[in-house]
Amino acid sequence: MKNEELQELIGSWSPNLTFAVEGSQYLNVSVPIDELHDIMFKLKHNDQTNLDYLFCLSGVDWGEELGVVYHLESTNFRHSLVVKTQTAERENPVIDSVYDIWATAEFHEREVFDFFGIKFNGHPNLKRLFLTDDWDGFPLRKDYEDNINMIIK
Amino acid sequence: METTTLTSNFKSEEYFINMGPQHPATHGVLRLLLTIDGEIIKKVEPDLGYIHRSIEKMCERDSYQQIVHLTDRMDYLSANINNEAVCLTVENALQLEIPDRVKVIRTIIGELTRISSHCLWWGVMGMDVGALTTYFYGFRDRELLNDIFEETCGARLTMNYNVPGGLMFDIHPNFVKRVKEFITHFKTKLPEYDRLLTDNIIFQKRAIGVGVLSKEDAISYGASGPVGRASGYSCDVRKHHPYSALDKVTFNEALRTEGDTYARYLVRIQEMWESMSIVEQLIDNIPEGEHRVATNAVIKLPKGEYYQKVETARGELGVYVISTGTKSPYRLKFRSPGFSNLSLLNHIAVGGKIGDLVATMATLDLVIPDIDR
Amino acid sequence: MNSALSITKNIHDWLFSIMPETAASIAEMVLIALVYLGIFAIAGLFLVLLERRVAAWFQLRIGPNRVGFQGLLQTMADAIKLLSKELTGTSKADKFLYNLAPYFVIISSLMALSVFPFTKEFQAFDINIGLFFLIAVSSIGVIGILLGGWSSNNKFAMIGAMRSGVQTISYELSIGLSLLTMVLITGSLQLSEIVEVQKSGWLIVQGHIPAIIAFMIYMIAGTAETNRAPFDMVEAESELGAGFHTEYSGMKFAYFFLAEFINMFIIAAIATTVFFGAWLSPFGITESIPMLGVFWFLLKALILVFLMMWFRWTFPRLRIDQLLTLEWKYLLPLNLANIVIMALLVWLNLTISF
């Protein structure tokens, strides 16, 4: 499916989605966090989108907001889509888990939790993956400071 | 009544066991928390981070040329392909026109890296199922490749051969000759691999039907590379999103449908044949030309987001760059193949024996620095 | 009479001339035990060297060749190094059993050596239940492995020990039954008599088809009994680290290690005695020189040892359930049927003898 068709189809599901294509080779769609799980579920299970392969799940610290970027691909139609969601909450950010839609999200979400402190609602085993349980702070956030381990130029 | 007393007297307990961080089968510093009932695996929980260097955070501070060097240290067995991934991202973002010579050499070295990585995997696979001799056979052939790499760029493992804009040096005059010699040599040695391990009845008994991964699960768990292809899931980035000179060659995607340990094993063996055929198609007509196009000393990517996939020996490596137009990426995420492949270990290992777990893990071909980026 | 045997005879006479009979017998036993201990400890070390060279040969390497001529002193140096190493262990280990275990293993292997007929005269202890004694003694070793695995308070060692117990109990059956098949021909358990019978053809020839089947079962079971690849479930270094001897170090580890090699030699020696005519030369070509019996015995045993090394360096390891399936579902029924066939053969006088 072409990007325009995808945009038209997905845009019809909810009025709160914003699309962008500039500065990226994929079609980008920003989803508000309260609609994320529904939209994601449709993206996978809709016959026309069928985005069944979540190949990348990244946490991003946008400065003010914390966000998660999902890169999706359909193994049948070979079209791709980037879904973005973000929250302005920095103290206790919560985003719905998509672990029940793509099993690979279990580990990727744990990684994001580990480095960005984003909690995932409904994740079965949300705990630190790489760092020790008593690690203070979330290293990949832009405001993280560690005078011992980080060399800042 | 009799039976209840019996069962209460002879109750069995599940127990925990730490496999790793120092354990021969985990190939590095992976720690698996196993819940075992006798010999049967009930749960596998990987504990990661023993060699996490936070490469992604370091990238936010480094220039793009420096980032290329960091990628060597992720999946060190496909170091050159990792380099290529970052270089391609930068080149695509800058819309640089890369000479054909560079593309062809990158593809040849990439495929040789894949063969070298699979040789090591094959040796270790044999060792994990208890056949120690395979290790030395694998290393014998790998050593020849390492010699070629050493002559080409001075390094045997972490090659650092690619730079944004091309290659660091031109190939050595002997390169073509030695690669051809290697291909001739390896064509006689690869059947030997089959005779030693593939056709061995004990190995087949150990591998067939063990650690079965269905196609649906493979996609859902984000399996890529030989792990995905063994389950019948066509996921070869070289086919679907060709890069460098891969659109100029013809090769078959190694696909199997069984999804078990043996299928993953056969896919890798077939991949070695395919890689050899790719190298053969390219080695005779490396185009003349520059080995590098000039770039600015300080590379600044235009504002935007870039994603580049490549197929390493382990599967799909993704480089996701968010640039704000400065000399360093705002955020750089590596989607490493091993990380996703590890996440399905619990799914396929439960219910098997300890020996099955080891064999399954060997065919996932985990490289721990790739997971602990 | 050759000189070596006359020396032993002289010592025997001298001992009995200087002390009362009981004391002399005891002194002689101690002397023989010490001599055997010395010979086989060193022979074991050379077997280790042989294994390393054979492994190197299979694996396109050179192997140890620096210490002494062609590395002949390498394992000696290793043994001395192990002697000087600190004995470490887990703090919560059951100290008594933990320390006892290696001795169980090494003593049981050395005990078995006493009954082998290396030549007609060179046999320390010729009892009438020789074969039975061998099977019995060689299964004591598993107690040492179980104790070692259990008492070292390590889960990997524990799994290794449990596997060992399962494996040894299963494969003891096959060893016993396959040897019993051959006893049907000889009619005696005494090793010297078993050899005597073979003067009219080695038993593997005399018993032809069932004997060859019995020999194959015996070699499979014997490899399993010594816990060597492809049956090295007990150690399974890629699964259990080092299995039951994970927590042992220094000389205690060396005892386990040495015992493995002596056991391998024992398995080969039993096969030599029962199937290949012990010290008898092929077609009686050197019958006039009895001392060459040692040469023939060792040659046959070493060929079988080489066979076991060949197994080890080419085959992958079985899984524990496949190991038990192989024994209980295939080898054991085959073995029982084989005994019946052999009994019929002996009853109908269908054995081949020259």
Distance CA C315, CA C313 (A): 6
- Identify any residues that bridge with B307 across adjacent strands, giving them in sequence order: B320
Instruction: List the subunits that have 3+ CB pairs under 8 angstroms with A.
Output: B
- Identify any residues that bridge with B353 across adjacent strands, giving them in sequence order: B40
Q: How far from chain centre, in Å, is Cα C15?
A: 31
Decide if A102 and B220 are in contact by the 8 Å CB cutoff.
yes
> Which residues in chain B are closer than 8 Å to A140, comparing Cβ atoms?
54, 56-57
Number of Cβ within a 10 Å radius of residue C84: 9
Q: How many domains does chain B have?
A: 1
Q: Which residues contact C11 (CB under 8 A, 6 or more apart)?
A: C28, C31
User: What is the distance in angstroms between the Cα of A14 and the nearest Cα belonging to chain B?
Assistant: 25
Nearest CB partner across the interface for B353, out of C314, C315, C321: C321
Decide if A130 and B48 are in contact by the 8 Å CB cutoff.
yes
| Burial of residue A68, with CB atoms counted within 10 A of its CB: 0-12 exposed, 13-18 middle, 19 or more buried | buried
Is C311 at the interface with chain B, CB within 8 A? no
Is B302 at the interface with chain A, CB within 8 A? yes
Decide if C238 and B358 are in contact by the 8 Å CB cutoff.
yes
The answer to whether C136 touches C202, Cβ cutoff 8 Å, is no
Decide if A52 and B302 are in contact by the 8 Å CB cutoff.
no
pLDDT on residue C337: 92
pLDDT on residue B1: 46
CA neighbor of B78 nearest in space, from B107, B51, B114, B47: B114
Alpha-carbon separation of residue C69 from B318, C64, C66, C211 (angstroms): 56, 10, 7, 41
Supply the Cα-derived Rg of chain C in whole angstroms: 21
For the entire predicted model, the pTM comes to 0.87
**Candidate CATH numbers 1.20.1630.10, 3.90.380.10, 3.90.550.10, 3.30.460.80; the one for domain A3-87:** 3.30.460.80
Report the DSSP pairing between strands A27-30 and A80-87: parallel
pLDDT tens-digit map of B93-107: 888 888 888 888 889
| Burial of residue C177, with CB atoms counted within 10 A of its CB: 0-12 exposed, 13-18 middle, 19 or more buried | buried
pLDDT tens-digit map of C205-259: 787 888 888 899 999 888 888 888 788 877 777 777 777 888 888 888 888 888 8
> Which residues in chain B are closer than 8 Å to A24, comparing Cβ atoms?
304-307
Decide if A55 and B220 are in contact by the 8 Å CB cutoff.
no
pLDDT on residue B259: 86
Decide if C238 and B130 are in contact by the 8 Å CB cutoff.
yes
- Percent of chain B scoring above 90 in pLDDT: 2
Among the residues of chain C, which ranges form H helices?
A: 3-18, 21-58, 74-83, 95-113, 130-138, 141-151, 155-186, 191-197, 203-206, 208-225, 237-240, 250-275, 292-314, 320-325, 332-347
pLDDT tens-digit map of B9-48: 666 778 888 887 877 777 778 888 888 887 888 888 888 8
Is it the case that residue B66 has pLDDT exceeding 70?
yes
Tokens standing for residue C234: 């007990």
User: What is the distance in angstroms between the Cα of C85 and the nearest Cα belonging to chain B?
Assistant: 22
- Interface TM-score (ipTM) > 0.90: no
Terminal-to-terminal C-alpha distance of chain C: 28
- Identify any residues that bridge with A59 across adjacent strands, giving them in sequence order: A68
Q: Where are the domains of chain C?
A: 1-84, 89-347
User: What is the distance in angstroms between the Cα of B119 and the nearest Cα belonging to chain C?
Assistant: 15
- Percent of chain A scoring above 70 in pLDDT: 97
CA neighbor of B261 nearest in space, from B371, B338, B342, B348: B348
pLDDT tens-digit map of B358-372: 888 888 888 888 888
- Which residues of chain C from 191 to 220 reach within 8 Å of chain B, CB to CB? none
**Upstream peptide bond of B21 is cis (omega within 30 degrees of 0):** yes
In a domain, B36, yes or no: no
User: What average pLDDT does this structure show over B234-259?
Assistant: 85
Tokens standing for residue B204: 């087949």
Nearest CB partner across the interface for B355, out of C58, C229, C320: C320
The answer to whether B35 touches B43, Cβ cutoff 8 Å, is yes
Nearest CB partner across the interface for B353, out of C155, C316, C320: C320
* Domain residue limits at B366: 52-371
Is C242 at the interface with chain B, CB within 8 A? no
User: What is the distance in angstroms between the Cα of A54 and the nearest Cα belonging to chain B?
Assistant: 6
Collect all residues from A whose CB is shorter than 8 A from any CB in B: 22-26, 28, 52-56, 58, 60-61, 69, 71, 75, 78, 82, 102-104, 106-108, 111, 115, 129-132, 139-140, 150-153
Q: Which residues contact B159 (CB under 8 A, 6 or more apart)?
A: B72, B79, B80, B83, B109, B113, B149, B153
Give the CATH number, domain containing residue B219.
1.10.645.10
pLDDT on residue C88: 80
CA neighbor of B158 nearest in space, from B54, B244, B78, B51: B78
CA C298, C299, C305, C306 dihedral sign is positive
Is C346 at the interface with chain B, CB within 8 A? no
DSSP letters of C69-99?
GGGTTHHHHHHHHHHTS-----TTS-HHHHH
Decide if B132 and C59 are in contact by the 8 Å CB cutoff.
yes
Chain C, nearest residue to B128 by Cα: C238
Low-confidence stretches of chain C (pLDDT beneath 50): 1-3
In a domain, B20, yes or no: no
Tokens standing for residue C2: 């050759």
The answer to whether B182 touches B276, Cβ cutoff 8 Å, is no
Nearest CB partner across the interface for B129, out of C55, C60, C316: C316
pLDDT tens-digit map of B150-163: 888 888 888 888 88
pLDDT on residue B8: 62
The answer to whether C335 touches C211, Cβ cutoff 8 Å, is no
Low-confidence stretches of chain A (pLDDT beneath 50): none
- Which residues of chain B from 161 to 190 reach within 8 Å of chain A, CB to CB? none
Phi and psi at residue B31, to the nearest 5° = -115, 125
The answer to whether C344 touches C92, Cβ cutoff 8 Å, is no
Average pLDDT, chain B: 86
In a domain, B29, yes or no: no
Q: Where are the domains of chain A?
A: 3-87
Checking phi first, is residue C292 left (phi over 0); if not, alpha (psi -120 to 50) or beta? alpha
